[in-house]
Amino acid sequence: MEGETSWFSHCLDDIARDIGEFDSFSEFSDEGNKEVTAVSVDSILPDDLVERILAYLPIASIFKAGCVCKRWHEIVSSKRFLWNFSHDLSQKPWYFMFTSSDEPIGYAYDPILRKWYGIELPCIQTSNWFIGSSCGLVCFMDNESRSELYVCNPITKCCNKLEKPPGLKFSDYSALAISVNRMSHHYNVSVVKSKQVPGNFFQWDLSIHIYDSETMMWLTPLTEVLTGWRAGDESVICDGVLYFLIYSTGGRLPDNRHGLITYNLSSRSTNGLLIKSFIPVPCSLTCGRLMNLKEKLVMVGGIGKQDRPDIIKGIGIWVLNGKEWQEIARMPHKFFQGFGEFDDVFASSGTDDLIYIQSYGAPTLLVFDMSQKQWRWSQKCPVMKRFPLQLFTGFCFEPRIEIAP
């Protein structure tokens, strides 16, 4: 066994040396037709051993390995390899960071290798588009007309354009979410639309639109008028339940400016008014970010001062158990200072066990590991060198090669 491990290690070193020279997927694709001579054992190894060796590589190297030659491409594209890879628990979610420029140029961060890769996102045209992700697929919707709606795999670049739900462009606020079934790879896309009732600042028309990839049709199972609250741009689907934040519009001012609404996508029943599902947030928040971590709803929020709720004094992480919030962690002060303690709003997303938190004003990225309860900075993103005076944003996604929209 020791000899086999040493031999595998030697083969991996050769492969890594061959395909590890390139830091971006696009760079490797451009050079893919060059002759490769670094791996001499390839010609004498059977396919099953090559498959075992390639399976040890991180996803970035696997994707590049498929560009080396026809044989490797067939191996990493085979159903057996993709099935085994889809059950590989060692993969961790990536974070894509890009600038606020007209072109969404950015880099994806691999937390295992602690390395940034330059990749181009398909479909999306500007960084202010609505974005939702689940199980390797990412959904993009344009922020202005709401007429462009896509689901894609950012690693393989496979993309599918969806028909837009009716009346969406007439909304004042929209929240986008996607949920992918890990077994069937079917998915649902939800859009929560909120529009002010004409002549009444305190009343807002709210509607929920659901797209089913099996039927390829949109349904609008719910429309309702909220008084004193409106929906915003923050929503997520966890275990068949749609969660979205609502925001106070004044009137009888509540204790907190934010609240949470739930809607069961399976039963599509509200048992009366939607507002009856209202769950108060755990404290006064400057902003809240919702995410699905292993089918549990997690919220990262900026904690507002008691006398000045618009001034941030810290950042907390909570998980929803039933209708009760459980605090998981608070950002230590040394990280809070380095993160930007005067930014009352920020970007944050996560999946699996990782939560990413990013300041809009700088490309610094903070990572929190839920399983180990550890905070750490990522490696410095190279986007800063190219765009030093830009605003930055980003989103989390699972790097997968076996799933397509």
Residue ranges covered by each domain of the chain: 2-86, 94-397
The contacts of residue 380 (CB under 8 Å, 6+ apart) are 363, 364
pLDDT at 19: 47
CA distances to 47, 50, 113, 348 from 109, in Å:
31, 27, 9, 14
pLDDT at 15 (0 to 100): 52
Burial class (CB in 10 A: 0-12, 13-18, 19+), 271: exposed
Type of residue at 152? C
Give how far Cα 347 sits from Cα of 130, 240, 289, Å: 13, 25, 8
**51 CB-contact burial (10 Å; exposed 0-12 / middle 13-18 / buried 19+):** middle
The pLDDT assigned to 403 comes to 85
Give the mean pLDDT per block of 10 residues along the chain (405 residues).
43 50 43 46 72 75 76 79 66 86 79 87 84 94 84 90 77 91 92 90 90 93 90 94 92 70 82 83 93 96 83 93 95 82 83 92 89 92 67 88 84
Let me know: does 241 contact 261? Beta carbons within 8 Å: no
pLDDT of residue 306: 78
- What local confidence, expressed as pLDDT, does residue 20 receive? 47
pLDDT at position 363 is: 81
Question: Would you state the pLDDT for residue 118?
Answer: 85
- To which CATH superfamily is domain 94-397 assigned? Kelch-type beta propeller (2.120.10.80)
Whether the Cβ atoms of residue 204 and residue 226 lie closer than 8 Å to each other: yes
* pLDDT confidence of residue 288: 94
**What integer pLDDT is reported at residue 269 of this predicted model?**
64
The answer to whether the beta carbons of residues 141 and 130 sit under 8 Å apart is yes
| Single pTM value for the model | 0.83
